[in-house]
Structure 1
Amino acid sequence: MIEKKDDDKNTSHKNVPFFAMDCPCKGKNLDKLIQPSILLVLSKKSQHGFTIVSELEKSPLCNGNAPDATGVYRYLKKMEEAGLLTSEWEIESGDKPKRVYAITANGRKCLANWSEVLENYARNITILVEQIRSETE
C-alpha cells in the first residue's frame, strides 16, 4: 500500500495525490521508449552521444528533464550490438575523440515498426484512461 504524507501537495491533476516514493504513476518509468526516441534523433542525422542526450532532454518523453546519460550510453551500446546503430570515432585536432552514432537500415525498419506499435499503444492507453476515469470520477 502506498501512503500519502500529510504535507504532500496535489499534482496538476485534481484529486491525484503526489506520492513521495518514485511511483510509476508519476510517469518516470517510460525507459522502454528510449529506443524509439534515440532512433528518431538519429534518423535526422548522425550525432555524438552528448548531443543525443541533449536532444532526448528536449523530447516529450523526458519533458525537459535530462535522462541518465550513463543509461543512454549503455542503451546506445546495446542498440549498436543489435545492429540498429553504428558508431565511429571522430577525431578533431586538439579535441578529445568523440564517438558518433548513426542509424542503420535495420534501425530505420525498427523505427517504422515502433510507429505502428506506439499507435496501437496510444489507442489502448486512451481506452484504459477512459475506463479509469469512469471508475474514479
Structure 2
Amino acid sequence: MFIDMNCPCQGKNLDKMLQPLILCILAEGGDMHGFALLREIGKMERFADSKPDATGVYRYLKKMESSGLLTSKWDMEDDGSGNPKRIFSITTQGKACLANWSVALYDYNQYIDSLIDMINKAVSK
C-alpha cells in the first residue's frame, strides 16, 4: 500500500514496459490487429485499475514497426464494422529483441530485489 503523496515513487510515471509486452503477445498469440492487442494488454494485472491508453499503444506500435521489430499489413475483409484493420506481426529482429528483454529484465529483477531489501532495512531503522 502506498503512502498518499504526489510522487513518482507510487509508480504512476513508470513505463509499463509496452515493448516487451507487445512483442511477447505477438510471439505467443500470432498476428493481431491493434484492438486485439489492446484487449490482451488490458488483461495484464498492471492494467487492472486502468485501461491501456489506446493512442499511446498505437503510437508505440508505429514506433516498433519503424524500428523493424514489427511488420503490418491491412486486412480489407469486412468483419461487419466496415473498417479495414491493420494486422501486426513480430519480425525476426523483434524476436531477438524479446530475447534481449529477457536478459535485461532478469538483471533488473536481481537489482530490484536487492534494492527492496536495502529500502526495507533503511525504513525499519
Identity of aligned residues (%): 48
* Structure (1 or 2) with the greater helix fraction: 2
Partner of 1:17: 3
In the TM superposition, 1:1-137 aligns within 5 A as: 13=1, 16-19=2-5, 21=6, 23-31=7-15, 33-44=17-28, 45-63=30-48, 65-93=50-78, 95-137=82-124
Contact 2:64/2:70, CA 8 A, preserved across alignment: yes
Amino acid at match of 1:75: Y
Question: Alpha-carbon deviations, 1:30-64, whole Å to 9, x = none?
Answer: 32611001101111211110111111111234345
Q: C-alpha separation between the residues in 1 aligned to 2:121 and 2:100?
A: 32
Larger Rg computed on CA atoms: 1
More relative contact order, 1 or 2 (CA 8 Å, 6+ apart): 2
Alignment: residue pair count: 121
Aligned-pair distance for 1:92?
Answer: 1.4
Structure 2 length-normalised TM: 0.89
User: What stretches of structure 2 of length at least 5 have no aligned partner?
Assistant: none
Structure 1 length-normalised TM: 0.82
